[in-house]
Each structure stands twice: as structure tokens, then as C-alpha cells.
A = this chain, B = another copy of it.
């Protein structure tokens, strides 16, 4: 998969991973790789800056801890982050439905009223 295509959806992915529990950067990368079946194998140079960006935006918060003598920065979702994630999900659904309309619908029905 062209990693480039992630453009604009990375934040949502990060938020979604953190939604399942606090994690540190390295673990987030592994979670992404595991949950995507190996498709998403993002480099640290992508994740760390993104996490800092998210923290500046107040969507995640971090705390340092020492594990086995190593410093870890553990991130967790803030309330604002949770709301942002909900918005991102809605945005993804719309985006995905729209593009899917052109490239082949494999969309789950959007529950018509």
C-alpha cells in the first residue's frame, strides 16, 4: 500500500489506537502494524512528530515513565481527543463513502432513515 495515501488520516489512526488504551510511541507503531496485518508499518519519523502535533493540539497527553531503565513517553487520549476521534470517524465515513461511490462500493450501508 502506498503509504503516502495516509495523508490526512494518520491523526485519526493514532487517536483510534490510543482509544484502546494508553501506549508509548514504539508500542503504537507495533499496534498499527499488528492490527493492520502488517500493511501499516510506519517509521518513527512519522509517528513521533505526529504524536507531538497531537499533543500540542490537546488531543493526547503524555507522561514519562521509566521502564527497565529506559525512558518512555506514554500517550493517552484526552477528552478533546475522544471528541476529535468521533469527528474523524464521521469524516472517514463520509470520505470513504464518497470515494467509494467512484471506485467501487465496498461500503457498509449507512443506515438509511
Q: Are B8 and A2 interface neighbours, CB within 8 A? A: yes
- Copy total for this chain: 2
Q: Does A83 contact B (CB under 8 A)?
A: no
Q: Does A40 contact B (CB under 8 A)?
A: yes
Q: How many residues of chain A have a CB within 8 Å of chain B?
A: 39
Binds B, one of A43-51, A60-68, A69-77, A105-113: A105-113
Between-chain CB contacts (< 8 Å), 14 pairs: A2-B91, A4-B7, A7-B8, A9-B99, A13-B99, A13-B103, A35-B102, A36-B101, A36-B102, A39-B98, A92-B99, A93-B104, A96-B104, A97-B106
The interface of chain A, by Cβ under 8 A from chain B, is 1-2, 4-5, 7-9, 12-13, 16-17, 19-21, 35-37, 39-40, 88-89, 91-106, 108-109
